[in-house]
């Protein structure tokens, strides 16, 4: 899915925004960037702001017109921060992600971004099937173009994950102490805890109450690891060792 989505920047005036856009795309697993009449590109500033996403800059395609840039796209989406004179189908980024995921036959998709100051022109927006808008604070809706790209790219990645187009690798654990504790370890810790509670007279086993069940429930919520069990048992041992010393002093 993500390989079928192209981000098109029209008449970008600051090369740093092109670099920041490349970085935003790469962090979300997107890679296709198109530029329409950028004021300055290639640029050392764009490369610097890309921060190791310079491969996306190297593969970016430059066009003389937005019509040429979207000629092969089956869905064209324009970003719009404000209501235009002519009503147009408006969708939020999350809905856009679901739509792209559900309609593979309508790919590749182009998502258009206009100039930093004024966005897309009405003529450019008229090329679009949908207008996507980010529901920002109405009292301060100003968004940098790279920030808008990051937000939309994030929602597209979530949609791809939900659609199982991306399989995230299981996190690796090199520290055995961070593995989940075994049932035996947990039971041994509870037994140790009960001994300490009896030793400190916090818990009297001859008086029926729910304290033991509540403490068990408390620790079961924590998904204890091997290292956490050992930490708790070390702490309990120190308490049991300290109590008779305190009694002797008293």
More confident residue, 12 or 210: 12
Read off the pLDDT of residues 232-250 as tens digits, 9 standing for 90 and up.
999 999 988 877 655 555 5
Read off the pLDDT of residues 79-90 as tens digits, 9 standing for 90 and up.
986 555 566 788
Read off the pLDDT of residues 139-173 as tens digits, 9 standing for 90 and up.
888 889 999 999 999 999 999 999 888 776 665 65
SS (H, E, C) the chain: CHHHEEEEEECCCCHHHHHHHHHHHHHCCCCEEEEECCCCCCCHHHHHHHCCCHHHHHCCEEECCHHHHCCCCCEEEEECCCCCCCCCCEECHHHHHHHHHHCHHHCCEEEEECECCCECCHHHHCCCCEEECCCCCCCCCCCCHHHHHHHHHHHHHHHHHHCCCCCCCCCCCCCHHHCECCHHHHHHHHHHHHHHHHHCCCCCCCCCCCHHHHHHHHHHCCCCEHHHHHHHHHHHHHHHHHHHHHHHHC
Q: What is the model's pLDDT at position 244?
A: 67
Q: Which residue has the tokens 């008779």?
A: 244
Average pLDDT over residues 25-37: 97
Domains defined for the chain, CATH in brackets: 2-162 (3.40.1280.10), 176-249 (1.10.8.590)
- Model confidence at 178, pLDDT cuts 50, 70, 90, reads confident
User: What is the pTM (predicted TM-score) of this model?
Assistant: 0.73
């Amino acid at each position: 899915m993500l390989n079928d989505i192209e981000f098109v920047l029209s008449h970008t005036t600051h090369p740093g925004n092109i670099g920041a856009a490349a970085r935003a795309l790469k962090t979300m697993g997107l890679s296709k960037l198109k530029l329409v009449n950028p004021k300055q590109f290639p640029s050392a500033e764009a490369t610097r702001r890309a921060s190791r996403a310079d491969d996306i800059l190297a593969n970016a395609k430059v066009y003389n017109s937005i019509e040429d840039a979207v000629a092969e796209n089956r869905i064209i989406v324009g970003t719009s921060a404000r209501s235009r004179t002519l009503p147009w189908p408006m969708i939020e980024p999350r809905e856009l992600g679901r739509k792209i995921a559900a309609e593979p036959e309508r790919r590749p998709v182009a998502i258009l971004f206009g100039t930093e100051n004024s966005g897309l022109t009405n003529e450019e927006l008229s090329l679009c099937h949908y207008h996507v808008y980010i529901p920002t604070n109405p009292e301060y809706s100003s968004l940098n173009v790279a920030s808008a790209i990051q937000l939309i790219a994030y929602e597209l990645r979530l949609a791809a994950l939900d659609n199982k187009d991306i399989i995230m690798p299981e996190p690796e654990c090199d520290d055995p102490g961070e593995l989940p504790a075994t049932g035996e370890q947990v039971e041994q810790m509870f037994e140790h805890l009960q001994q300490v509670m009896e030793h400190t007279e916090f818990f009297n086993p001859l008086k029926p109450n729910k304290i033991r069940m509540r403490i068990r429930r408390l620790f079961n919520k924590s998904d204890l690891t091997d290292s956490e069990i050992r930490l708790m048992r070390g702490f309990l041992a120190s308490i049991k060792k300290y109590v008779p010393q305190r009694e002797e002093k008293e």
